[in-house]
Amino acid sequence: MPKMKTKRGAAKRFRVRPSGGVKRAQAFKRHILTKKTTKNKRQLRGTTEVAAVDAPAIKALLPYA
């Protein structure tokens, strides 16, 4: 049986935490930032966890993570 391939697009976007959760970057921080408030942009910094219902689908794309 050949090795399973990791979906490279998903590997660049997500990391699986030791606890089993999936870490992701915040959306809405790439462009059109002039109309967004400073508070909104500050709160979009950092990372957050993927919703629990979406985590199994993402883990299927990352078989060795």
Read off the pLDDT of residues 19-33 as tens digits, 9 standing for 90 and up: 999 999 999 999 999
User: What is the Cα–Cα distance from 33 to 41, expressed in whole angstroms?
Assistant: 8
Under 8 Å between Cβ of 58 and 50: yes
Give the per-residue pLDDT at 54: 97
Beta sheet of 22-25, edge-to-edge order: 14-16, 22-25, 47-49
Please report which helix (H) or strand (E) contains residue 33, including its range: none
pLDDT at 6: 97
8-61 adopts what CATH topology?
Factor Xa Inhibitor (4.10.410)
Which pLDDT does position 42 carry in this prediction?
97
pLDDT of amino acid 15? 97
- Considering the entire predicted model, what is its pTM? 0.85
